[in-house]
Amino acid sequence: MRTPQQSYPGSKVGLYGAFMADVEKHKRLSSADRDRLGGQLEQAYTQGASLASLAASHRTSAGRVRLILLERGVVLRRPGGSTRRPDPQRLERAQVIARDYAAGATLAQLGSTHRIAPATVRNLVLAAGGQMRARGVRTPRPDRPAGAGRTGTVTGSPGRRAV
């Protein structure tokens, strides 16, 4: 018994059960055949078929399939078959990190707390819609009075003498 992925010699039924236009290499398609083929390709591609599988089932090149889909305005997926979808836990974590960052925590502190790199913390803050502070500027913490913990300013290095 044949699987749906196997082609039937002489058959005009493609991989997805749709009638295939006869596509010969280096031959132009009439506009009616191109529209019909484009509709079939678009439907199969939006259902998850790859360019290579569509090309094989329609006996044409992946480049031709790609051009026909682009002509129809189809947004092509990235190569490699990535099916990554936004992870709700990652989004929730990003919102928590962005809130803590807005409250005054540094990227390094948040990275240490969440066991991730500070660059990843930055990316998560931005993904959650947060704004990065200017480098070296911390938001005042509500649990400390302004200037707490500072003993004064250093005006010179201890090992130097004025000449």
In a domain, residue 33? The reply is: yes
10-residue mean pLDDT profile of the chain (163 residues): values are: 44 48 68 88 91 88 91 86 72 92 92 94 92 77 61 54 55
- Find the DSSP H helices in the chain: 31-46, 51-57, 62-71, 88-102, 107-114, 118-127
Domain that holds residue 108: 88-127
Indicate whether 48 and 119 sit together in one domain: no
In a domain, residue 155? The reply is: no
Indicate whether 9 and 80 sit together in one domain: yes
pTM value is 0.41
**Based on the structure, what is the number of domains in the chain?**
2
In a domain, residue 160? The reply is: no
Indicate whether 112 and 51 sit together in one domain: no
**C-alpha distances out from residue 115 to 83, 101, 107, 109, Å:** 26, 15, 11, 10
Please report where in the chains the tokens 């329609």 appear, as a residue. 58
Token pair recorded at residue 44: 């199969």
Indicate whether 69 and 99 sit together in one domain: no
Under 8 Å CB-to-CB from 46, ≥6 apart: which residues? 74
Indicate whether 94 and 106 sit together in one domain: yes
Indicate whether 42 and 112 sit together in one domain: no
Indicate whether 79 and 5 sit together in one domain: yes
Determine the Cα–Cα distance for residues 13 and 9; give it in Å rounded to an integer.
Answer: 10
